Amino acid sequence: MQVNSNISFQDTATAFAHKTDKDLGRARLLFRSFDYPILLKWGPALAKIAVSLGFKFVIKDTIFKQFCGGENINDCVTAIDGLSHSGIGTILDYSVEGEESEAVFKHTAAEIKKTIDMAKGNADIPFAVFKVTGIIDSHVLEKKSANTQLSPSEEILWDNGSKRFFDICEHAKHSNVRLFIDAEESWIQEAIDRLAEDAINQFNTEKAIIYNTVQLYRHDRLAYLKKQIAETSAFLGFKLVRGAYMEKERARAAEKGYQDPIQPNKASTDNDYDAAVTVCLENHDKVSVCIGTHNENSSMLGVQLLEKQNLQPNDKKVYFSQLLGMSDHISFNLSHSKYNVAKYVPYGPVTAVIPYLTRRAQENSSVAGQMGRELALIDSEITRRKNAK
């Protein structure tokens, strides 16, 4: 796509300049493997067995290497330095999913604070991020979202969890590190929004430190975004995403018989996403925005709107963001043209990040209708390099 005279997302030479021929060959093999339904179905179970039998390196040298920064925060230094070399920032994402207990929540909160410490004063790490379900019991969040009375033991869980939440936000404020609060399922999002709004009012007094996330695959979120902009006096920060839980949302709404919170089709999601990008940039004085997407048109819209508003590509209130190992054609070409880009760099023990890796495999399979783009770009760069020799 060649919309802007300076940027082409088809420029694979820039997109993959950081990859050796060997890296590209390995990535090609990996993306091709996602098209085998049998591997997609049994991959997660096989991965766990492989790790338990001492074959962790099989996962670590393949899918883990493509999408994760390492098993712990210090391992991520190589990924941070590699991205920084191309002018791209890192957002350290502690991606452990699984057990919900107070001990695990405490440990996760401490780890999130470590990512803030690592980002403090470090231009290579422009944001920190966390998921509220990593530190607060999801059943309690669900009850809070539905305004259901909590039992005394649930009240304690809520008090402990919300203390952890504000402690993390306060730590970000004192460290001067911008902090994303990820968006999650609609039935717990109400409670997450209330926490995020309170934190925004408390900590965004001089500039946007706390960013809430808006999922535009929900048909009510553009209105939510506009209302927040109209009614909040503090500075606002938003990460805009389409949303990751569509099938789960639709299935639950159908099962429980309430209105589907998701847009009727992809075009409506795209329209609202692009409208949200426009609204945020039109309110640039008050709103900082992270355009979190792998969609070329929405990314290009961000570029065009920056121009239209007479803002510099590297305006500090506007970022583009993609996940590590995905859409390098967007990240590296934007960064090459001096736009602010940061990649989510997930990390955690191999077995604990298997659910995250499974989602990456699924969304890059032909089952998800995505097959082709990453692979086609890799193929085209391999061919370009062969022809250039």
Bridge partners (DSSP) of residue 238 are: 212, 289
Q: Shortest gap between Cβ of 229 and ligand FAD (angstroms)?
A: 19
State yes or no: residue 262 binds ligand FAD (CB under 6 A).
yes
At 97, list the tokens. 């999913």
State yes or no: residue 328 binds ligand FAD (CB under 6 A).
no
Q: CB under 6 A: which stretch of 71-79, 219-227, 240-248, 381-389 binds ligand FAD?
A: 240-248
Q: Which of 323, 353, 357, 361 binds ligand FAD (CB under 6 A)?
A: 323
State yes or no: residue 321 binds ligand FAD (CB under 6 A).
yes
State yes or no: residue 115 binds ligand FAD (CB under 6 A).
no
Count of residues interacting with ligand FAD (CB under 6 A): 24
**Residue among 112 and 262 whose Cβ is closer to ligand FAD:** 262
Q: Which of 145, 269, 335, 365 binds ligand FAD (CB under 6 A)?
A: 269
Query: Whole-angstrom Cα distance, residue 199 to residue 212?
Result: 10
At 253, list the tokens. 């709404």
Query: Whole-angstrom Cα distance, residue 25 to residue 37?
Result: 21
Q: In the block, which residue shows the tokens 């709107």?
A: 305
**Residue among 316 and 384 whose Cβ is closer to ligand FAD:** 316
From residue 149 to residue 168, the character string flagging contacts with ligand FAD as x (rule: CB under 6 A) and all else as - is --------------------
Q: Shortest gap between Cβ of 330 and ligand FAD (angstroms)?
A: 9
State yes or no: residue 380 binds ligand FAD (CB under 6 A).
no
Q: Which of 108, 215, 288, 331 binds ligand FAD (CB under 6 A)?
A: 215
Q: CB under 6 A: which stretch of 4-12, 77-85, 147-155, 241-249 binds ligand FAD?
A: 241-249
Q: Shortest gap between Cβ of 150 and ligand FAD (angstroms)?
A: 25
**Residue among 137 and 249 whose Cβ is closer to ligand FAD:** 249
Could you give the angle at which helices 266-282 and 296-308 cross, rounded to 10 degrees?
20
Q: Which of 46, 244, 279, 311 binds ligand FAD (CB under 6 A)?
A: 244
State yes or no: residue 295 binds ligand FAD (CB under 6 A).
yes
Q: Shortest gap between Cβ of 196 and ligand FAD (angstroms)?
A: 11
State yes or no: residue 356 binds ligand FAD (CB under 6 A).
no
**Residue among 326 and 378 whose Cβ is closer to ligand FAD:** 326
Query: Whole-angstrom Cα distance, residue 182 to residue 179?
Result: 10
List Cβ neighbours of 144 (8 Å cut-off, separation of 6 or more). Answer: 150, 158, 190, 191, 194
Summarize as ranges the residues that interact with ligand FAD (CB under 6 A): 182-183, 213, 215, 217, 241-246, 262-263, 265-266, 269, 292-295, 321-323, 344
